[in-house]
Structure 1
Amino acid sequence: MRTYDNPVISGFHPDPSVCRAGGDYYLVCSSFEYVPGLPLFHSRDLVHWEHIGNVLDRPGQLPLPLPGARASGGLYAPTIRHHRDRYWVVNTNTDGGGNFVVSAERPEGPWSDPVWIDLPGIDPDLAWEEDGTCWCAFSGPEGGIRMARIDPARGQVLEGPFATWSGSGLKFPEAPHLYRIGEWWYLLIAEGGTERGHSVSVARGRSPRGPWEGAPANPLLSHSGTARAIQNTGHADLVEAPDGSWWMVLLGVRPRGFTPDVHVLGRETFLTPVEWTEDGWPVVAPVPERHAAPGGAWHPVPAPPARDDFDGTALAPHWISPYARPEHSWSLTSHPGRLALSATGATLDRPGYTFVGRRQQHHDCRVSAAIDPGTGRGGLCVRLDEAHHYELEMGNGEAAVVARIGPLRQTVARRPVPAGPLTLTVTIRTTDLVPASPEPAAGRATGPDTLAFWLGDPDAPGAGPLAELDGRYLSTEVACGFTGRVIGMYATEGTVLFDWFEYTPVPRSRSGGRSPLA
């Protein structure tokens, strides 16, 4: 029997929404303050997903930097749908403009410029009746789920919005998805907040206008109060496979460390099967770490190369930057075969700062980059937001490890280095504690992981880290917000050249300890 492991898309890929067109599935996730926006994935079996692009991938689609941008602001939960040979994504830009729709003939794009909808709130959804009537369900600013009839091509509101079903009574009813299944309309929502109380609930009615009847077993799914390794389960979307089976994609987290355990990879995308009762209600078992795979052919996709030598003319779709990536701040052509970053970008508190990174997708991993700072300054950064990050920086004949934790910024280690190229490495290893362990191991760190910073090759004889730092301070529970760790390269003075970047997962032994490869 074939099985799959959860999550099916690891790392900071929250608020998944999925649609099927024939034998192909397409999935989008939130991207918040990072650009390009709304990562887009393709699969033929719901298990193996390939990152094929980003829905919002050019400056003309949204003003950049995002106006009023803030950490964990920007682009919230999208919905993707396929209707009458066209793909539609509806989304919210919380930092300017509100709700909008983009569409494309092909999921690979190009996607249209946004069509703005005069509706408040967040988490919009699209559903069509057989006659072409389009409904938009969303989470209203005053709380509760609201519904409107719209023209998605023009962004015109034709009816409403009006209040509809708002859950079983838990806080923050949001993330609505509306479906016509058989003779019923089903309204699937999230409740309880996106933290440990997160859950999924469902109601049904004969019309999108209601009235709505909540399922007697609501919440349909919640891991709240359990000892399961997967927590915060919610914000779900349903899809029917060609064989008639039903599946749910949803977000969850994998917390680690001593109590209260924390998560560092962000909210990830999970997959779980859905059954139906004889009286027409969906039933979802707890989200498994491993489960029998969907039927049909298996369609593995090639893993992205561990090493990027920057030999192309465009960055791969997994490379992201906070708030903006001005054309003059980076180049693959000014120094062929190298990524040149110039300190002309900006984050909220750092003018002249350019960052290009990728999501951390494994609890144990190793990241290296070959850097030539020239007369500039830059290096490797592990970032949760601009107030919570660790940096291994090189410039002016010195390498330094810098920790930023809230209002505090401190250089924790320094070392002179020769001028010219140097390999910088960050290793991240999970602390040998089981999740939510009742007692800390004597003499060990109690954070979820340890980040070590190296000059040169960590495997060289006699090599030792320049510094080691507790990873708990780069967790969502400490920093707050909706994102996960992003690891990448940056420049803060002048122009810095990167010859290559390598991200490698590090396997762990069956006993839970570090593999000898770590």
Structure 2
Amino acid sequence: MRMYDNPVIGGFHPDPSVCRVGEDYYLVCSSFEYVPGVPLFHSRDLVHWRQIGNVLDRPGQLELADDVPASAGIYAPTIRHHDGRFYMITTAVGDIGNFIVTAERPEGPWSDPIPLGLPGIDPDLAWDEDGTCWCTLAGVSTARIDPLSGRVLEGPFRSWSGTGFQHPEAPHLYRIGEWWYLLIAEGGTDRGHGVSIARARTPRGPFESCPANPILTHRSTDLPVQSTGHADLVSAPDGTWWMVLLGTRPRGGFPRYHVLGRETFLTPVQWRDGWPEVGPVQERHPAPAAWHPLPPAPERDDFDGPELAPHWISPRRRPANSFSLDERPGTLTLTATGPSLDRPGHTFVGRRQQHPDCRAAVRLEPGTARCGLSVRMDEAHHYDLEVHGGEASVIARIGPLRQVVARHPVPPGPLTLTLDIRTGDVLPPTVTTADQATGEPLGVGAHAPDTLAFSLGGPDPVPLAELDGRYLSTEVGGGFTGRVIGMYVTDGSAAFDWFDYAPTTVSGPGDTARDGGA
């Protein structure tokens, strides 16, 4: 029996929404403060996903202000296809609120935002047989709208209050057979997360709750996948039903830490007595009937294309003068253009960490710039390997504290910077790093979910520091995102010749975390 591995899209890809057009599936996720916004994926089998773009891919659609905080921005998109047109509806928190964009083709171009005068988050779209469009929001409330103008025609009115757990959100409304089903998340997007469902004869209700609610939750279990919720349903051409949802993979000692953010998982759905049944989300499941493996994504980006690949993201905005693929062909040139929330000038281009064990490396020509390789949760939680003035430094920023934990002289000219991230037994550290102020060893804690090891690459690698991964986790840093690994410049300009990212452990032929994503 053919099997697939969860997550099907690894790393910070939360709040998945999916639609099917013929034999093709399209999926979008939240992007929060990062641009381009709303990553868009395509699949032929729900297992192997390839990012084909970003829905919000130009400043006219999305360019967040510098003071928009981390984990604000784009929340919980829904993608739907109706009457030959694609629709994506989402919320720009701290910006214009709820809006819709449309496209004739999923690759775009997508329209400019159509503002929607409705409060709340997590908007959903559904159409009835006469073409009436319904928008349902967290809370849970529903309104009748014109999706092409954004005009609210009726409502909003209360739909269903859920089963009593906190934060009824992530609603999706479906017409399936003779019933309208309303799927929601409850319990908050943490360890208490779950999925519940109700049904009614019309979108106006009244909705009756499923007797088996919550139909899916991993709360109060020791299952390896936690925080399961924020789901969307889709039917396959063979009549089977599937659910995409977010989950986390916490590791380390109590309370356990998840560092990749909330990821996209896939699980089968069975129908019994008019209600969906969903078992626990396993790390390995029997696969859907369709099976369309993708060639492995390239591990190295040589920056020799006409534009950046769609998986490269930046916080809030990416001004045209902050990066160039033409200034030095075959390289990515970054120029510091501030401000950011914690630095006077800062340009960052990164990609999501998608695997618990991985290696990232970059070849750069620093010149006189202050630049390097960074692992970022937000402005207050990041580890950097920085080069400036003939010296490489490993810097840890944890909340209000910023500490240089290692220094090493470097020659002028091109350098290779390397980061190895390892899970498993993290004690004792293979490299002892001393605190620059006290001289005391900086060990990696026994409860750490992983270890981040920085080194200078080359024929004779120079290990610099190993740091505890707890401090770049959601449990410490907070927020809704996950780690992003990338290149940065805080002063001047620097040229990056290539960036290499690869998992260092692969679970087997069905390792879809590797197939999925960028």
2:76 aligned with 1:83, yes or no? no
Distance 2:90 2:47 in 1: 25
- Tell me the C-alpha RMSD between the 2 structures: 1.5
Distance 2:476 2:206 in 1: 42
2:140 aligned with 1:145, yes or no? yes
**CA shift for structure 1 position 67:** 6.5
Q: Residues 324 and 345 of structure 1 are in contact (CA less than 8 Å); yes or no, is this contact kept in structure 2?
A: no
**CA shift for structure 1 position 302:** 2.3
Q: What residue number does 1:303 align with?
A: 296
Give CA-to-partner distance per residue, 1:242-263, whole Å, 9 cap, x none.
0000000000000000111010
Distance 2:189 2:225 in 1: 13
Which of residues 260, 277, 283 in structure 1 aligns to 2:277? 283
Q: What residue number does 1:448 align with?
A: 449
Give CA-to-partner distance per residue, 1:1-26, whole Å, 9 cap, x none.
11100000000000000000000000
Mapping for residues 5-84 of structure 1, pairs under 5 Å: 5-62=5-62, 64-66=63-65, 68-84=67-83
2:113 aligned with 1:119, yes or no? no
Q: What residue number does 2:470 align with?
A: 472
Which of residues 148, 169, 178 in structure 2 aligns to 1:183? 178
Q: What residue number does 1:427 align with?
A: 420
**CA shift for structure 1 position 464:** 4.3
Q: What residue number does 1:317 align with?
A: 310
Distance 1:57 1:350 in 2: 25
Give CA-to-partner distance per residue, 1:434-464, whole Å, 9 cap, x none.
9xxxxxxx9963200000110123xx45x44
Specify whether residues 217 and 127 from structure 1 end up closer, same or farther in structure 2 by C-alpha distance, changes over 3 A only: same
Distance 2:104 2:64 in 1: 27
2:242 aligned with 1:247, yes or no? yes
Give CA-to-partner distance per residue, 1:302-329, whole Å, 9 cap, x none.
2321001111120000000001100000
Distance 2:494 2:223 in 1: 44
Q: Residues 256 and 433 of structure 1 are in contact (CA less than 8 Å); yes or no, is this contact kept in structure 2?
A: no
Q: What residue number does 1:161 align with?
A: 156
Runs of 4+ residues deviating >6 angstroms = none
Q: Residues 64 and 73 of structure 2 are in contact (CA less than 8 Å); yes or no, is this contact kept in structure 1?
A: no
Q: What residue number does 2:432 align with?
A: none
In structure 2, give the amino acid aligned to 1:204.
Answer: R
Same amino acid, percent of matched pairs = 69
**CA shift for structure 1 position 66:** 3.4
Distance 2:154 2:321 in 1: 45
Which of residues 372, 381, 384 in structure 1 aligns to 2:377? 384
Distance 2:110 2:331 in 1: 29
**CA shift for structure 1 position 507:** 1.4
Distance 1:9 1:232 in 2: 16
2:228 aligned with 1:230, yes or no? no
Distance 1:67 1:354 in 2: 12
Give CA-to-partner distance per residue, 1:488-509, whole Å, 9 cap, x none.
0000110011011000110179
Q: Which runs of 5+ in 2 are unaligned?
A: 428-442, 509-518
Q: What residue number does 1:328 align with?
A: 321
**CA shift for structure 1 position 39:** 0.1
Specify whether residues 209 and 387 from structure 1 end up closer, same or farther in structure 2 by C-alpha distance, changes over 3 A only: same
Give CA-to-partner distance per residue, 1:316-348, whole Å, 9 cap, x none.
000000011000000000011111000114322
Q: What residue number does 1:513 align with?
A: none
Q: Larger relative contact order (C-alpha < 8 A, sep ≥ 6)?
A: 2
Q: TM-score, normalised by structure 1?
A: 0.93
Q: What residue number does 1:439 align with?
A: none
Specify whether residues 469 and 433 from structure 1 end up closer, same or farther in structure 2 by C-alpha distance, changes over 3 A only: closer
Q: What residue number does 1:373 align with?
A: 366
In structure 2, give the amino acid aligned to 1:59.
Answer: P
Distance 1:167 1:433 in 2: 42
Q: What residue number does 1:294 align with?
A: 288
In structure 1, give the amino acid aligned to 2:387.
Answer: M
Specify whether residues 509 and 197 from structure 1 end up closer, same or farther in structure 2 by C-alpha distance, changes over 3 A only: closer
Distance 2:365 2:497 in 1: 8
Specify whether residues 333 and 12 from structure 1 end up closer, same or farther in structure 2 by C-alpha distance, changes over 3 A only: same
**CA shift for structure 1 position 375:** 1.1
Q: What residue number does 2:405 align with?
A: 412
Give CA-to-partner distance per residue, 1:136-193, whole Å, 9 cap, x none.
0001xxxx20000000000000000011102100000000000000000000000000
Would you say how many aligned residue pairs link Structure 1 and Structure 2?
A: 493
In structure 2, give the amino acid aligned to 1:371.
Answer: L
